[in-house]
Structure 1
Amino acid sequence: MDYFIVVITTLAGLYFHWWLYVRIRRWMDRDLALSMAGTDAGKKAYMLECLDNAKAQKIKRAELATWLEREAAAYRAD
């Protein structure tokens, strides 16, 4: 019974750390996209949409900042 408790506790701890790691990465990516938008609300929405497109296109994390900068430069306020 003691081993069961140790295994369950260890698995729960590993899952929690993985979940926290994924959430922090998402927050960092979102903050990166929003930082490139400045104070323009339209550009903020556009950059969040670009972030979703980058995830859909499976842009690598190392290339994400460059990709978002290029998209931010292509933004035109209508």
Structure 2
Amino acid sequence: MTLLGDAAHLMPPNGEGANLAMQDGAELGQAIVAHPDDMEAALAAYEQNMFTRAAADADDDTYQVMFGDDAPHGMVAMLTGAERPS
């Protein structure tokens, strides 16, 4: 089993999940075309690209807001415009 889109990427509610779903679908299609007779190799190539991209995205400050030490307060503050607790 492999995942794509919002199922595969933990995303903040900023609309990026739909774009990732389209990008994931395109990359999965390219991997299948590159390995037409070996689905396992196609999935491994797709997943490696996705993991690399997701690791780079994990450095995003939004993840700290969502999962940092003051979560969920930071997320609520981001969505409501309230001050984050200190």
TM-score (norm: length of structure 2): 0.33
Instruction: Point out the structure with the larger helix share.
Output: 1
TM-score (norm: length of structure 1): 0.35
Q: Which has the larger radius of gyration?
A: 1
